Structures are given as C-alpha cells and as structure tokens.
C-alpha cells in the first residue's frame, strides 16, 4: 500500500508542478521514448543477470505491493511456537518432537501456528536444525557456525534481486540520455524544416532524459531499497530462530530461551518481557 501511495505522490507532484509552470501534459506522452528506454533497460537487465535472479525479481516485485508479513503478531507467534516446542522437548525429551519435526504439515503442535507455517524458508531452517539436535551428533559451536554460514548464504541470495534492480535504476538516466540523443538526431535530420516542428522534436527528446531519471530515482531505485528492507526482515526472522535454538543448546530453559529471541527483534515489533511471557504461557 505504501508503494502505491508513494507512486501516486510522485506522479501527482511532478505533473502538478509541471502544469503549474505552464507545461502541457500532452508533450510528455512520447511512446517512442518509452519504448527506447524501457526496452534498453529490460534488455540490459536480461544480459546482466542469470535466470534465477530474473525469476526472483519477478516473484519479489509483486510481493512488495502486499505489504510485509513480519508484524509483531507473527513474531509473537514464532516465539510462542518455539517455547511450546522446546517445553515439550524439555519435559518429554528431544525424541518427543521427532514426529513433529519429520512431518510438520501434520503436526498438531505446528498447526497451531499458521502464520509461521506459511513461512516455508523459516520452517525449513528450523526443522533442519531440530533434526540435527535430535540426532545429537553435533556440538553447539559446530551448529552455531553452520547456522551462521547458512544465514549469510541465504541473505546474500535474497539481496541479489535488490542488487539487480538497483543496477537498472543506476542505468536509467543513461538510457534516458540515449533516447534523448536519438531524438536530437531525428531533429537534426529536419533542421531545415519549420521551427515549431523542430521544437517539438527537441522537446520530445528531452522528455526521454526526464523519463529515464524519474523512473530510476523515483520508482525503480526505491523499489530496490524496499526489497533490501524485506530481505533484512526475513533474515531477522531466521536469526530469532537461531538465537533461541542456541540458548536451548547452552542449557537455558524455554522461557529464557525465547527471551534471547525477543532481544534480537527490531524495537518496533519487540514485545515487553511480561507481554511475551504471558503470551507464550497462555499458548
């Protein structure tokens, strides 16, 4: 929603300021310039990125319009799930959660937390390390190092779409200049024609520069930044799981382990100590 609101504000501000300055909106409609800029940008994007990154961008951009799922509610649900999971393991032994870990889709425990279950990446991360814990073949330091390596790899992978889009944003002014130069070339071809016609061609060429700069700095660049924020939120969600698991492996009780997870949350979503305790015990 904020992306749509921001785009509306950009378009309204630019067009209103332009018309108040005496500009005519019809001049801004230059489909040839749009084809040159858009086609060159898309072609450069395809040349510079592997197929998996292109698919990631195509998947990530639409999700930005839906808003983030990483609200306080889902963090509370995650910590409540971890508390219940490790409380069961503490009370009955790690083998008691083996069936939940092996088949989370049919686990009564996991099914209580649909918002977390919908985060497939996080569930895979959690269940993979729970299997290693149940197996008991790794010490905490080895497990922590492995988690850190995986989190770093996942974060690098999730930043690829944002980097690809940022590169397009940086190139957009240049594509606008290309469109402008081609427009000026057309104008020079009819230099002996009517002055008014030449003026129209030059204006059309300048619109190309305007569109390239506007698209790069007001739309594509901000969307890339929004992708980066979304990647950091996903990384934080996984980091909470990691910190809670490590607290359990270091001998802390579940109620204190989820407090470790609470401490690494962003302040805007972080519940108070008492709020979290009441919530997880209530669950």
Integer angstrom CA distances of residue 141 from 90, 150, 235: 21, 14, 20
Mean pLDDT taken over the chain: 88
Q: Which of 250, 247, 273 is nearest to 260 (CA)?
A: 247
Range of the domain at 206: 31-282
In the numeric block, the tokens 């690098």 are attached to 156
pTM of the model as a whole: 0.84
In-domain check, residue 14? no
Is the confidence at residue 223, as pLDDT, over 80? yes
The count of structural domains within the chain is 1
In a 13 Å sphere around the CA of 106, the CA atoms on its Cβ side amount to 4
Integer angstrom CA distances of residue 186 from 39, 157, 268: 19, 44, 55
In-domain check, residue 10? no
Specify whether the CB–CB gap between 207 and 116 falls below 8 A: no
pLDDT-above-90 percentage for the chain = 44
Express each pLDDT in 121-131 by its tens digit. 999 999 999 88
In-domain check, residue 61? yes
In-domain check, residue 222? yes
In-domain check, residue 6? no
Specify whether the CB–CB gap between 216 and 224 falls below 8 A: no
In-domain check, residue 25? no
In-domain check, residue 157? yes
Express each pLDDT in 66-125 by its tens digit. 878 888 889 999 999 999 999 888 888 878 888 888 888 888 889 989 999 999 999 999
Specify whether the CB–CB gap between 180 and 205 falls below 8 A: yes
Q: What pLDDT sits at residue 283?
A: 59
Can you tell me the distance from the alpha carbon of 143 to that of 129, in angstroms, rounded to the nearest whole number? Answer: 8
Is the confidence at residue 208, as pLDDT, over 80? yes
Can you tell me the distance from the alpha carbon of 210 to that of 173, in angstroms, rounded to the nearest whole number? Answer: 8
In-domain check, residue 124? yes
């Amino acid at each position: 929603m904020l992306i749509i609101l921001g785009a509306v504000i950009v378009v309204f501000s630019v067009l209103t300021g332009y018309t108040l300055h005496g500009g005519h909106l019809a001049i801004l409609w230059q489909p040839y310039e749009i084809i040159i800029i858009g086609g060159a940008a898309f072609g450069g994007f395809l040349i510079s990125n592997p197929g998996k990154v292109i698919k990631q961008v195509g998947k990530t951009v639409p999700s930005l319009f839906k808003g983030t799922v990483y609200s306080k509610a889902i963090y509370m649900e995650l910590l409540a799930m971890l508390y219940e999971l490790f409380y069961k393991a503490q009370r009955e032994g790690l083998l008691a959660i083996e069936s939940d870990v092996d088949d989370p889709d049919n686990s009564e425990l996991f099914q209580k937390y649909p918002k977390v279950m919908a985060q497939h990446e996080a569930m895979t991360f959690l269940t993979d390390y729970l299997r290693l814990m149940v197996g008991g073949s790794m010490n905490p330091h080895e497990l922590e190092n492995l988690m850190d390596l995986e989190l770093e790899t996942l974060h690098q992978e999730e930043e690829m779409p944002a980097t690809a889009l940022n590169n397009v944003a940086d190139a957009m002014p240049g594509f606008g200049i290309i469109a402008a130069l081609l427009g000026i070339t057309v104008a020079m071809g009819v230099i002996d024609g009517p002055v008014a016609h030449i003026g129209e061609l030059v204006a059309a060429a300048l619109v190309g520069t305007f569109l390239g700069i506007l698209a790069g700095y007001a739309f594509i660049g901000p969307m890339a930044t929004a992708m980066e924020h979304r990647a950091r939120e996903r990384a934080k969600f996984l980091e909470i799981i990691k910190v809670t698991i490590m607290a359990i492996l270091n001998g802390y009780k579940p109620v204190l382990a989820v407090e470790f997870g609470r401490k690494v949350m962003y302040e805007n979503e972080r519940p108070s100590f008492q709020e979290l305790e009441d919530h997880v015990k209530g669950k």
